[in-house]
Amino acid sequence: MAEDIREACGVIGVYQPGHQVANLAYLGLYALQHRGQESAGIACSDGETFTVVKDMGLVTQVFNEQTLAPLEGHLAIGHVRYSTTGSSHWRNAQPIYRAVGEAGFAIAHNGNLTNTGELSVELGQLPGLLDTDPVHLDSTSDSELIGEMIAKHYKRELRSDGRDLETALIQVLPKLEGAFSLVLADEAHVFGVRDPHGIRPLVLGRVDGGWVLASETSALDIVGAHFIREVEPGELVAIDASGLRSIRYAEPNPKLCVFEFVYIARPDTNLYGKSVHGARQRMGQELARQAPVDADMVMPVPESGGPAAQGFAHESGIPYGDGFVKNRYVGRTFINPDQKQRGAGVRIKLNTIDANIRGKRLVVVDDSIVRGTTTRQIISLLREAGATEVHFRVSSPPYRWPCFYGLDTGKRSDLLAADMEVGEIADYLGVDSLAYLELDRLLAATGASPESFCSACFSGVYPVAVPEFDTKFVLEDGGDTLLLDDNSSTSA
């Protein structure tokens, strides 16, 4: 069940001369709330002054009329966070602001660097704005590290064309490895960046004389922006009073995270020009063709299994029905750090519809199984409600490898499928049968080129070299937890 995954972050950038854009940034973050629930923040500028408001909690907990009021200006960037590198503390909330002389800039980051340790060493050797400037990190996130590197490259003397931040970015971006979709702003510009593989999404939209950058097209929809295109892998886009400029800082080799299609992105988002909702329905159809079963009802695990369950029911001819009622006012179960709390959260969050379950043979569809503890409890609830058979179908392959590119999946030994075969997993979960969607079928269901995805969590083939040890706390205590065994990852 993908709720065992700590998700990627979400970012938004708005540039709209003559308008107060803080409310647009707020709405955009609201649409991206599913990508991170730990903290939220907005940095806004009127061309002279930067104001940053950020705090721990959901968007609606951090922002209200009072906290939005001081955010004045025609350009803004925003961020919702779930921690990958750096623990969950206020100091790691974003956007991050860096003062450079009398100027400064703000940065928000979705993704995770894989060379954080090397960069921190290099940063200590970089000359500062003055030779005596110390290295100063206000947080323990790789995003802060990116900000400090940019600050160190920032021109001390203002360029005549005002492109100080742009120049610094062109110097720094080639040094970064891993996944990074960035939005940045100074007093006159908003920037969008994707890493050369485009592992995390970033899109560009147009709104009433201005521009919007966002992690997903669903955020463009909520602010009334018209989708223009995706920011390309290896591209830096700069937006200012003269319009939009595109700078190619690296050759593209697209490898979008396929788990964006499986679970992360909202179903009303488009990726690679394809509907995520439609792709998930096709995953369910493929699953019904691959692993048919005799049953009385197809039901989803709310809400992530919905589209795939619809596809399975349509293809198989088995009636679709609901077996759970979801309490929409309970936070996602994975937010609770204690496993016992997560277990209690399942019963609080999901309640069975006994009349739909009792005496029936069920096909239960979900998008993935990560650690398996939540899924096992769900099966127990269905058994208690009187299901005679439970056939579990998963619309993605076994999740066997940790992610280093923006999802906090923990070490490999935490993953249920890392060292267990499908039959063993079925016994552990207590199901009558279990089937996972094959990788080639999953990739075909997206409608995009199979070569344009990172599927390392399923295949162990990483497009960017990854560390053997946990880098989550590398800027705090060295992050020395072994994530991969001796026979683990390979590079594409």
Task: Count CB-CB contacts under 10 A for residue 56.
Answer: 17
Rounded to 10 deg, the angle between the 142-153 and 116-125 helix axes is 30
Nearest to 185 by CA among 66, 18, 86, 73: 73
Assign 139 to helix, strand or coil: coil
Backbone angles phi, psi at 43, to 5 degrees: -115, 130
- In the residue annotation, 9 being an active-site residue is answered as yes
**What are the residues whose beta carbons fall under 8 Å from the beta carbon of 401, sequence distance 6 or more?**
412, 415, 418, 456, 457, 458, 459, 460, 484, 488, 489
Please answer whether residues 235 and 193 qualify as being in contact, where contact means their C-beta atoms are separated by less than 8 angstroms: yes
Please answer whether residues 234 and 191 qualify as being in contact, where contact means their C-beta atoms are separated by less than 8 angstroms: no
CA distance 335 to 87: 13
Residue indicated by tokens 């030779």: 131
Side chain identity at residue 353, one-letter code = I
CA distance 333 to 7: 12
Catalytic residue of the set 9, 44, 403, 454: 9
CA distance 180 to 480: 23
Q: How far is CA 399 from CA 36, 393, 417, in A?
A: 21, 14, 6
CA atoms 98, 101, 104, 109: torsion sign? negative
CA distance 366 to 204: 31
Token pair belonging to 426: 């079925």
Q: Which residues are catalytic, by number?
A: 9
